[in-house]
Amino acid sequence: MFTGTNIVITGGTGSFGKKCTQLILNNYKPGKLIIFSRDEYKQYEMAKKYPENKFPCIRFFLGDVRDKERLHRAFQEVDYIIHAAALKQIPSTEYNPFEAVKTNVIGAQNIIDAAIDQNVKKVIALSTDKAANPINLYGATKLCSDKLFVSGNVYSGGKTIFSVVRYGNVVGSRGSVIPLFLESKKHGKIQITDTRMTRFWISLSQGVGFVLDCLKRMQGGEVFVPKLPSMKIIDLANAIAPDVKHEIIGIRPGEKIHEIMISKDDAINTVEYDNYFVIKPSICSENYYSDGTSVADNFEYSSEKNQVRLSKGQIIEMINNKN
């Protein structure tokens, strides 16, 4: 599907973008792979890894999703967009709320408008479990972004199709608790927010692979949710540092004890497949994902109720193979 096509990855110098670039270049031969981000130093470092003489398809494009004119330029003759750019740190977005709105909400609208104007074929946007029943600003902006991308299909008239991928915590990514625990281990104390806390977990490679698969199968307007294992944060701490003292500090502003990826309100529009769920838009044809199995009306996909849990051995293996 991607061979000979032009692809843009927004936020392309982040954890997801770098892994996505690696997998695309290893498995496909795109015409152009455009890395769009606002960090010139990260682009410089990434360009050293992918020199032009060895990777003639790659392009580095400085820009911000807040700048619609720059997006219009970046999306010229582009077939597919993977939208990974976002402000993601919960404490930072709580303290700087409108900066998150500018990037995560207005930036999403800019992506939609520019993609339609430039006749892009497909746009897939990355979301988060924090967008389901959000209690923090980051989650609220991503929920708004999700709604914009779903509705973008109406504005495009089917010429450009938009979909969303929602998943949980990425092992070892920027902001992940694992690097924090590993660093805290050196000082003989690990801080735990709440011993009851659970989270969904996915590796970086699994996340990228799922997004690329969804980009191939997407029909427009759906939210894809992978089936993932959960773990207790206290189990993670014990696996990383079994003999290190724990300090219970309480949850941070905007944090949940448990995360949800599919709420009970979304269950009526959700169908299940072997390895993932699809949340269909509220208005769709009868044939839209008709081969999926409808979930129960009171279904909720939460890290607390999830039956698939990681064992201590699996947690250790996950940490050692975090990519």
Note whether 47 and 60 are within 8 A (CB).
Answer: yes
For the CA atoms of 199, 200, 203, 209, the dihedral, rounded to the nearest 10 degrees, stands at -150
Residue 231 buriedness (CB in 10 A; 0-12 / 13-18 / 19+): buried
What ranges in 176-305 are assigned the alpha helix state H?
177-186, 204-217, 233-240
Q: Which two tokens stand for residue 78?
A: 């582009």
Residue of 19, 88, 122, 130 marked active site: 130
Cα first-last separation, the chain: 24
Whether 130 is catalytic: yes
Q: CA-CA distance, 52 to 34, in Å (whole number)?
A: 13
Q: What DSSP line would sit under 176-201, residue for residue?
A: -HHHHHHHHHHTTEEEES-TT-EEEE
| CA 190 to chain CA mean position, Å | 27
Which residues are part of the catalytic machinery? Answer: 130
